Amino acid sequence: MSPPPPEPRGPAATSRAAIVATAGESIARGSKSFAMASRLFDPATRERAWLLYAWCRACDDLADGQDHGHGMHRVSDPEARLAAIRVRTAAALAGQVVGDPAFDALRIVAAETRLPHRLAHDLVEGFALDAAGWRPRHEDDLYRYCYHVAGAVGCMMAVVMGVAPDDEATLDRACDLGIAFQLGNIARDLNDDDAAGRCYLPEDWLAEMDIPPGEQMRPRYRPRIAVLARRLADRAAAYGDSGRAGTPALPFRSAWAVLAAAGIYGAIAGEVAARGEHAWDRRVSTPATTKLGWIARAFSQALRRRALYPPVPRDGLWTRPR
């Protein structure tokens, strides 16, 4: 883990402190699960995780017309929104003051870590896929999308936690964990995505279940969709198991935070699968008491992570582009 940056003085100190504070507010509003897990990091890593989250959250909100992940709807100007994300992201990575706290958060975290710029651009390409109305035809297409919108974030978070940018093996595990989180999100949000005109279930999966494209969330197809949701949950579990095998490379507190998040998000995917065709009657969420239970469990897991999570092969898992 790299040491905390020296404390700047004068206006720069106020600027960074204000941006960190805004980033902390963003994660608290946008993801209670990630906010809780982030408290387990050491202070320097926690601030940088908040900064990275703030940029990711702002890009997602801008692309989908949301407010901290809520209220997604079809936007009338997806290409213009994507262009704005590209311009502001490029400026931030070039070290320019953007004037938008979320994009200046990226400027700060990129300057304080060896964050590979290509990973940030890979995330933006995920928003480009959505802007183009893209849908996966095959399972590998689904994983490619999950990489762009979540696996790349996992890789960036690993760098924030001190993983070397050229440690490809550990970054692969971080990517796997991001993919696991996204697969669970897709399973949980099938109904919301359908309302926004999106579907992330591969077309060949729908054909296998004899579900006409665009009709997947009709009541008559719910039992068949439940089968595919369980498949998503099973795939999420496999990628999650692989992701946990990367935690021995992390400092204890970072491993604790990662394992807590893995438990919380894995529980969401498991609950979707357990509810069957009723999984979308109301949004699946994790109560605070359950989250605290995963945090306690993750403490023990982090202590024993080298024994619990050996570097097992990633056989059969999709591999991110290099």
CATH of the domain at 300: 1.10.600.10
Boundary residue ending a domain (85, 116, 147): 116
Whether the predicted pLDDT of 74 surpasses 80: no
CB hemisphere CA count around 318 (13 angstroms): 24
Tell me how far the alpha carbon of residue 252 is from its chain's centroid: 21
Q: Which of 31-35, 63-67, 125-129 is the least confident region?
A: 63-67
Does 278 fall in a domain? yes
Domain carrying residue 29 = 11-116
Whether the predicted pLDDT of 256 surpasses 70: yes
Whether the predicted pLDDT of 309 surpasses 70: yes
| Domain match, 144 and 112 both | no
> What's residue 4's pLDDT?
44
Confidence at 1, pLDDT banded by 50, 70, 90: very low
> What's residue 7's pLDDT?
42
Q: What is the mean pLDDT of the chain?
A: 92
Percent of the chain with pLDDT over 70: 93
> What's residue 66's pLDDT?
64
Name the domain count of the chain. 2
> What's residue 322's pLDDT?
84
Look-up: residue for tokens 């807590």?
Answer: 260
| Domain match, 221 and 316 both | yes
> What's residue 70's pLDDT?
53
Percent of the chain with pLDDT over 90: 84
- DSSP code, position 100: S
| Domain match, 58 and 160 both | no
Structure tokens at 95: 């070290």
> Which amino acid is present at 114?
R
175-189 residue pLDDT tens: 999 999 999 999 999
| Domain match, 209 and 306 both | yes
The pTM (predicted TM-score) of the whole model is 0.92
| Domain match, 254 and 321 both | yes
Question: What distance in Å separates the CA atoms of residue 108 and residue 110, rounded to the nearest whole number?
Answer: 5
| Cβ atoms 309, 245 nearer than 8 A | yes
Question: What distance in Å separates the CA atoms of residue 167 and residue 118, rounded to the nearest whole number?
Answer: 15
| Domain match, 240 and 305 both | yes
Does 58 fall in a domain? yes
**Average pLDDT rounded to a whole number, residues 210-235:** 96
- DSSP code, position 147: I
- Cβ-based neighbours of 9, under 8 Å, separated by 6 or more: none
Look-up: residue for tokens 């993750």?
Answer: 298
Higher pLDDT, 5 or 90: 90
